[in-house]
Amino acid sequence: MTLKAAPTKKTYLKSSEVARLFNVNHSTVFLWVKKGKLKAKKTLGGQFRFLKSDIEQFLQEKSDKNYEEKRSEKRYKAQFFVVLKLNCQRKTYYNPATVTDISSHGIGLNMESDRGLVQELHNGEISNVTIMSYNNTLFKSKTRGTIKHIHFNNEHSISLGVALN
């Protein structure tokens, strides 16, 4: 007699999978968690996991309300390079980054970084950022903002949601 393993259904989704389903930036998914619109479980590594049934229900609610028409602020996709100045008590970091989207309230950024900066962002030691122009004219010189959302894509890649001051 041979035993076959029962096929397993994936019951949890990653935040990147949820973002793809809703066609939003993953920082929006974290905002929904923070506002209580989505329930999430945290893994031991600090990553969010979402019950597939909760996401299906939320997706249905959003499609019922014609969510895209009701979105309060327009977001624009972008791809250009800036330099971030991140101040910590012990050190000031200058890091290249890519602006990925822009709205009237803030911007989404992706950046590669070393473990020291990743750790300080994870610990909440850095909350303010200065965005400096890098061969483009979007920012006249320097723009300051407050980090509102942080997503650790992997050990060296971080996405930030920054509210402009």
Residues spanned by the domain of 63: 12-70
Q: Are residues 156 and 126 in the same domain?
A: yes
> Which amino acid appears at position 30 of this protein?
F
Q: Are residues 54 and 93 in the same domain?
A: no
Question: Per-residue pLDDT tens for 98-153?
Answer: 888 887 778 888 888 776 777 777 777 788 888 877 665 555 567 788 888 888 77
How much is the mean pLDDT over the chain?
76
4 has a pLDDT exceeding 60:
no
Q: Are residues 145 and 85 in the same domain?
A: yes
pLDDT reported for residue 138 = 55
Q: Are residues 120 and 149 in the same domain?
A: yes
CA distance 116 to 101: 26
Q: Are residues 46 and 117 in the same domain?
A: no
Question: Per-residue pLDDT tens for 15-63?
Answer: 888 888 877 887 888 888 888 888 999 888 888 999 988 888 887 776 6
Q: Are residues 56 and 102 in the same domain?
A: no
Q: Are residues 135 and 110 in the same domain?
A: yes
5 has a pLDDT exceeding 70:
no
Length of the chain: 165
Q: Which helix (H) or strand (E) holds 98?
A: strand 92-102
Residue identified by tokens 């994870």 is 122
Q: Are residues 97 and 115 in the same domain?
A: yes
Q: Is residue 130 classed as helix, strand or coil in its secondary structure?
A: strand
In a domain, 2, yes or no: no
The set of residues, in sequence order, having a beta carbon less than 8 Å from that of 99 and lying 6+ positions away, is 78, 79, 80, 81, 82, 107, 108, 109, 138
Judge if pTM exceeds 0.85. no
Query: Where among 46, 70, 94 does a domain terminate?
Result: 70
pLDDT reported for residue 49 = 92
In a domain, 1, yes or no: no
Q: Give the largest CA-CA distance in the chain.
A: 74
